[in-house]
């Protein structure tokens, strides 16, 4: 049969396909995702798992009038391909290309911008209530959320509100029993029980009653239920069901890989008013055997061979150079071996931040708490109140979720919690939702908080060592995505004096103050500038708070022109801290602040984005040249 996908640009084209040919569309969609993701890497397993659901949704619903809201959005590749972006899909996640996540400015089919988890139900409720207020009674609103994202508190806040509001929304729970790592906690166990327990294994009479109300369409559902009695279990009106208790009508669990079955169920559910939840069972990575076998590895595998499934090493990967996350993971374990009070906390990112290294050796002392950043921080506060020293590792952009918990539960009580923020700074292909560019700004205005950023992985180790020494109080350490520098990083621990930076190089013309890994750009820039007979002093400040006043006084005394550089938002960040220090002492100097400007930066490689923002080595050189030119 001719290729069907080639003729599908929009859902209107998909709707012309005969129902019996939908499995072929799914096969072609899968093939395209494999082909594209193998050479242009991104998220993989999640999109593969929802191919049938995606096709069924666009077959049944009338997007963009009907609103489909993907939670996290890392599973929306099929949705993108079916909604006008098939021909651009090869630019997925690349500079100036399409975003790896649903993005309202990219397409009217992307009903809500996402990237962070557990927002879909709240957003769907808002959209549904707005439709009610606007008199758009026929508008359908669907939230699609994974079992991992269902562990996030916001998902429950949304369910609670929606159940009480009697809003007309459908929540589809895509249950593949996985987060990035295996899903954790009571909810995850509950979902497994729902699939296996005898109580859920029989068809309840309620389902027949509900569906009889909707006779014409109901017949489809009944036929499907009859056909799949072995696999399809259904519950209706059962208060022992969590979702029912919250005010939702629960349907399922059903086979999420039966595309025809799904279209029929969705057609039925369209006719049922009020809050409904359809529980579907899928396999992450479905259709690509290596991905089915190791879902964690294939969450975002990088480039791979589309036939053999061999995952290629990153082109810049030097086996001797470790990623910052590995240095964090190994160092945490080393410290935990020496200090029995140390515990580890990660909200659903054990392999992402490498806390799995500690988990393997010390399963009792390292905790995956689910996709629950606010909870992770307050849980750590509880541990700290009892004398433990928690290392909470949260990607910088996800830490935004925990702001009140950091202030109210940790800093206000001056607790010894160490916040390790991985992916601090521009992260690259994940784009605007994931850039960790706010943390220096939002951490430095919290009383009691130490705010630090290592220039390299040895500094990271030493900062981690320092943070777990007695009475350090709340201590944040942020480091970037990617590789460190030194070949031999397993050095002996050295305590770093809190609030002390270091002079890296002398110079006469301009002083550059750097924080974190941007110091390495300065090192490169100095080499280029020295060749031009321009002499630049360089200080690695290490701490944004407390800031090193001795260095600042020295710089103020010796230089008229100063540059600050940070891989973070300029406004309110490190450079602002320097300016505030100078202003408070009446010091008037020309200070140029380099970093991320006051706008959202899209996706690209980190290199491309550093360039765009002008704080890579070339950007520094240019800034220095311009300053010198003006002053001559
Ligand atoms: C607030 C937040 N924390 C962490 C993440 C990182 N993250 C991306 S996908 C994912 C797992 C999601 O699991 P699930 O919802 O079950 O979807 P699946 O990948 O299994 O399809 C996590 C933890 C995130 N996107 N947002």
Which run of H or E residues covers position 179? none
Ligand 1 pocket check: which of 179, 285, 430 to mutate, most ligand atoms within 8 Å of Cβ? 179
pLDDT at 138: 95
Across the chain, mean pLDDT equals 93
Beta carbon of 259 within 6 Å of any ligand 1 atom:
no
| DSSP-assigned beta bridge partners for residue 437 | none
pLDDT in tens, 416-445: 999 999 999 999 999 999 999 999 999 999
Token reading at 70: 């993907």
pLDDT at 448: 98
Q: What is the mean pLDDT of residues 343-353?
A: 98
pLDDT in tens, 309-345: 999 987 556 667 899 999 999 999 999 999 999 999 9
pLDDT at 632: 57
Token reading at 358: 């500690």
The position carrying tokens 């090192």 is: 523
Beta carbon of 286 within 6 Å of any ligand 1 atom:
no
Distances (CA, A) of 102 to 88, 608, 609: 14, 22, 20
Ligand 1 pocket check: which of 149, 187, 192, 370 to mutate, most ligand atoms within 8 Å of Cβ? 149
Res. 232: pLDDT tops 70: no
Q: What are phi and psi of 235, to 5 degrees?
A: -130, 135
Under the banding of pLDDT at 50, 70 and 90, the label for residue 70 is very high
pLDDT in tens, 7-41: 999 999 999 999 999 999 999 999 999 999 999 99
Which run of H or E residues covers position 626? helix 617-631
Res. 176: pLDDT tops 80: yes
Distances (CA, A) of 112 to 101, 123, 547, 618: 10, 7, 40, 37
Least confident window among 186-190, 303-307, 396-400, 617-621:
186-190
- Dist CA 198 CA 583 (whole Å): 70
Is residue 302 within 8 Å of 37, Cβ to Cβ? no
pLDDT at 522: 98
Q: Which atom of ligand 1 is nearest to the CA of 146?
A: 15
Token reading at 50: 């929802």
Q: Is 373 a catalytic residue?
A: yes
Res. 209: pLDDT tops 80: no
pLDDT at 233: 40
pLDDT at 221: 57
Beta carbon of 94 within 6 Å of any ligand 1 atom:
no
Q: Is 401 a catalytic residue?
A: yes
**563 Cα distance to chain centroid:** 32
* Centre of ligand 1 from the C-alpha of residue 46, in Å: 10
Distances (CA, A) of 435 to 151, 220, 408, 438: 23, 45, 25, 8
pLDDT at 202: 42
Beta carbon of 72 within 6 Å of any ligand 1 atom:
yes
pLDDT at 208: 41
Token reading at 213: 């109300």
* Centre of ligand 1 from the C-alpha of residue 170, in Å: 20
**Residue 558 Ramachandran class (φ > 0 left, ψ -120 to 50 alpha, else beta):** alpha
Token reading at 136: 């758009």
* Centre of ligand 1 from the C-alpha of residue 73, in Å: 9
Beta carbon of 423 within 6 Å of any ligand 1 atom:
no
- Mapped to the 3 state alphabet, what secondary structure does 409-426 carry? HHHCCCCCCEEEECCCEC
CB atoms near residue 301 (< 10 Å):
23
pLDDT at 231: 40
* Centre of ligand 1 from the C-alpha of residue 229, in Å: 31
* Centre of ligand 1 from the C-alpha of residue 179, in Å: 6
Helix axes 22-39, 259-270, angle to 10 degrees: 110
Q: Select from 89, 64, 65 the least CA-distant residue to 76.
A: 89
pLDDT at 316: 57
Cβ within 8 Å of residue 143, ≥6 positions away: 69, 71, 120, 121, 123, 124, 158, 169, 170, 171, 172
CA quadruple 257, 260, 261, 263: dihedral sign: positive
Res. 226: pLDDT tops 90: no
Ligand 1 pocket check: which of 69, 144, 348, 349 to mutate, most ligand atoms within 8 Å of Cβ? 348
Ligand 1 pocket check: which of 46, 99, 117, 352 to mutate, most ligand atoms within 8 Å of Cβ? 117
* Centre of ligand 1 from the C-alpha of residue 182, in Å: 11
* Centre of ligand 1 from the C-alpha of residue 74, in Å: 8
Cβ burial of 269 (10 Å; 0-12, 13-18, 19+) is buried
* Centre of ligand 1 from the C-alpha of residue 444, in Å: 28
Q: What is the mean pLDDT of residues 489-514?
A: 97
Q: Is 140 a catalytic residue?
A: no
Beta carbon of 256 within 6 Å of any ligand 1 atom:
no
Q: What is the mean pLDDT of residues 588-596?
A: 97
- Measuring from atom 21 of ligand 1, which residue has the nearest CA? 46
pLDDT at 223: 56
pLDDT in tens, 101-125: 999 999 999 999 999 999 999 999 9
pLDDT at 629: 86
CB atoms near residue 273 (< 10 Å):
13
How many percent of the chain have pLDDT more than 90? 88
Under the banding of pLDDT at 50, 70 and 90, the label for residue 346 is very high
How many percent of the chain have pLDDT more than 70? 92
pLDDT at 230: 40
Of the candidates 36, 106, 244, 373, the residue annotated as catalytic is 373
Is residue 394 within 8 Å of 347, Cβ to Cβ? yes
Answering whether pTM is above 0.85, one says yes
Of the candidates 67, 233, 284, 593, the residue annotated as catalytic is 284
Q: Could you write out the DSSP letters of every residue in 72-120?
A: SSTT-HHHHIIIIITTTGGGTTSTTS--SS--TTT-TT--S--SSSS-H
Is residue 324 within 8 Å of 479, Cβ to Cβ? yes
Least confident window among 212-226, 231-245, 449-463:
212-226
pLDDT at 205: 40
Res. 368: pLDDT tops 70: yes
The position carrying tokens 């100036």 is: 96
- ∠ CA(368), CA(371), CA(377), 5° rounding? 70
């Amino acid at each position: 049969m001719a290729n069907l996908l080639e003729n599908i640009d929009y859902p209107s084209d998909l709707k012309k396909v005969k129902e019996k040919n939908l499995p072929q569309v799914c096969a072609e969609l899968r093939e395209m995702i494999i082909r594209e993701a193998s050479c242009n890497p991104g998220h993989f397993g999640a999109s593969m798992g929802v191919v049938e659901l995606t096709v069924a949704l666009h077959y049944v619903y009338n997007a963009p009038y009907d609103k489909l809201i993907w939670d996290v959005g890392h599973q929306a590749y099929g949705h993108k391909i079916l909604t006008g972006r098939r021909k651009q899909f090869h630019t997925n996640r690349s500079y100036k290309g399409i975003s790896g996540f649903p993005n309202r400015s990219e397409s009217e089919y992307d009903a809500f911008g996402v990237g962070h988890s557990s927002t879909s139900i709240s957003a769907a409720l808002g959209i549904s209530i707005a439709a009610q207020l606007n008199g758009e009674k026929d508008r359908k609103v669907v939230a699609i959320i994974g079992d991992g994202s269902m562990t996030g508190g916001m998902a429950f806040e949304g369910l609670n509100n929606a159940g009480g509001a009697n809003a007309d929304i459908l929540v589809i729970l895509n249950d593949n029993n996985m987060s990035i790592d295996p899903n954790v906690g009571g909810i995850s166990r509950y979902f497994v029980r729902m699939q296996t327990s005898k109580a859920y294994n029989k068809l309840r009479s309620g389902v027949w009653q509900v569906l009889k109300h909707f006779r014409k369409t109901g017949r489809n559902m009944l036929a499907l239920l009859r056909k799949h009695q072995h696999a399809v279990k259904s519950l209706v009106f059962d208060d022992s069901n969590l979702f029912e208790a919250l005010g939702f009508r629960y349907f399922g669990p059903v086979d999420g890989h039966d595309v025809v079955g799904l279209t029929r169920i969705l057609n039925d559910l369209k006719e049922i008013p009020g809050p409904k939840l359809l529980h579907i069972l899928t396999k992450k990575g479905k259709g690509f055997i290596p991905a089915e076998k190791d879902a964690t590895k294939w969450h975002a595998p990088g480039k791979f061979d589309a036939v053999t499934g061999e995952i290629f090493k990153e082109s810049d990967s030097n086996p001797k150079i470790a990623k910052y996350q590995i240095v964090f993971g190994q160092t945490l374990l080393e410290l935990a071996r020496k200090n029995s009070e140390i515990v580890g906390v990660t909200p659903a990112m054990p392999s992402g931040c490498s806390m799995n290294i500690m988990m393997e050796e010390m399963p009792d002392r390292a905790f995956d708490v689910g996709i629950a950043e606010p909870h992770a921080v307050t849980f750590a506060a509880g541990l700290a109140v009892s004398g433990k020293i928690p290392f909470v590792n949260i990607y910088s952009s996800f830490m935004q979720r925990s702001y009140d918990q950091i202030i109210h539960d940790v800093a206000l009580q001056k607790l010894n919690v160490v916040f390790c923020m991985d992916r601090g700074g521009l992260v690259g292909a994940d784009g605007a939702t994931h850039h960790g560019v706010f943390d220096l700004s939002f951490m430095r205005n919290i009383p009691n908080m130490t705010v630090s950023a290592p220039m390299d992985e040895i500094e990271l180790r030493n900062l981690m060592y320092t943070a777990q020494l007695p009475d350090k109080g709340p201590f944040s350490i942020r480091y970037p995505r990617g590789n460190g520098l030194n070949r031999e990083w397993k050095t002996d621990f050295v305590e770093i004096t809190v609030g002390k930076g270091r002079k890296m190089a002398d110079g006469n013309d301009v002083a550059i103050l750097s924080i974190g890994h941007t110091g390495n750009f300065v090192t490169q820039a100095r080499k280029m500038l020295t060749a031009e007979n321009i002499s630049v002093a360089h200080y690695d400040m290490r701490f944004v708070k407390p800031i090193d006043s001795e260095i600042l006084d020295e710089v103020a005394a010796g230089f008229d022109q100063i540059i600050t550089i940070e891989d973070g938002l300029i406004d309110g960040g490190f450079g602002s801290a320097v300016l505030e220090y100078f202003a408070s002492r009446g010091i008037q100097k020309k200070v140029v602040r380099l970093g991320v400007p006051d706008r959202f930066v899209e996706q690209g490689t980190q290199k491309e984005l550093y360039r765009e923002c002008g704080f890579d080595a070339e950007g520094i050189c240019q800034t220095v040249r311009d300053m010198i030119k003006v002053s001559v």
